[in-house]
């Protein structure tokens, strides 16, 4: 074998090992730590027929960045978070969080931060700012 082939094999092996570690251990650990407590505390329910729905939204939960991984439905009672196809690959679970359980933290230019089930969740301003609207 030439030196170039040996180097290519070593680099390919290294890349495969890294992919297995990241997708087999690191991402599942981050999902379990950041997203799963929200899903366990708030099992999914069907959104109301008049819910506002947007697909492929980006969220982050703790250290877990979920770009284009969440489909969102907002109705007067719940914030519905459903994994998009990308989210299902990393085994996100759906959740329907009642607005009473969403603690508004702050609002940015395009995003907002809330606390749900003791976990910080950052996502689109259009849906998360609903948590600060008083009932009445």
- Give per-residue pLDDT as tens, 55-70: 999 999 988 899 999 9
pLDDT band, very low/low/confident/very high, at 135 (cuts 50, 70, 90): low
Question: Which domain range does residue 116 map to?
Answer: 36-132
Q: Does residue 106 lie in a domain region?
A: yes
How high is the mean pLDDT of the chain?
91
Q: What is the pLDDT of residues 76-117, one digit of tens each?
A: 999 999 999 988 888 899 999 999 999 999 999 999 999 999
Query: Strand 78-83 relative to strand 95-98: parallel, antiparallel, unpaired?
Result: antiparallel
Nearest to 82 by CA among 57, 104, 109: 57
CB neighbour list of residue 84: distance below 8 Å, 6 or more residues apart:
55, 56, 68, 69, 70, 71
Q: Does residue 4 lie in a domain region?
A: no
Q: Does residue 12 lie in a domain region?
A: no
Q: Does residue 95 lie in a domain region?
A: yes
CATH number at residue 57: 2.30.29
Q: What is the pLDDT of residues 15-70, one digit of tens each?
A: 888 887 777 777 778 787 889 999 999 999 999 999 999 999 999 998 889 999 99
Q: Kind and range of the H or E element at 127?
A: helix 125-128
Q: Does residue 118 lie in a domain region?
A: yes
Q: Does residue 83 lie in a domain region?
A: yes
pLDDT on residue 1: 66
User: CA–CA separation, 105 vs 44, rounded Å?
Assistant: 23
The total number of structural domains in the chain stands at 1
Q: Does residue 6 lie in a domain region?
A: no
């Amino acid at each position: 074998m030439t030196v170039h082939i040996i180097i290519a094999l070593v680099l390919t092996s290294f890349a495969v090992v890294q992919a297995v570690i990241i997708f087999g251990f690191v991402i599942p650990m981050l999902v379990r730590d950041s997203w799963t407590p929200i899903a366990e505390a708030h099992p999914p329910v069907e959104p109301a027929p008049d819910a506002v729905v947007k697909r492929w939204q980006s969220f982050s939960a703790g250290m877990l960045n979920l770009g284009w991984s969440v489909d969102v439905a907002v109705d007067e009672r719940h914030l519905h978070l459903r994994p998009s196809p990308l989210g299902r690959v990393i085994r996100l679970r759906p959740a329907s969080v009642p607005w009473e359980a969403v603690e508004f933290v702050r609002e940015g230019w395009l995003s907002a931060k809330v606390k749900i089930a003791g976990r910080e969740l950052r996502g689109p301003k259009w849906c998360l700012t609903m948590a600060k609207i008083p009932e009445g």
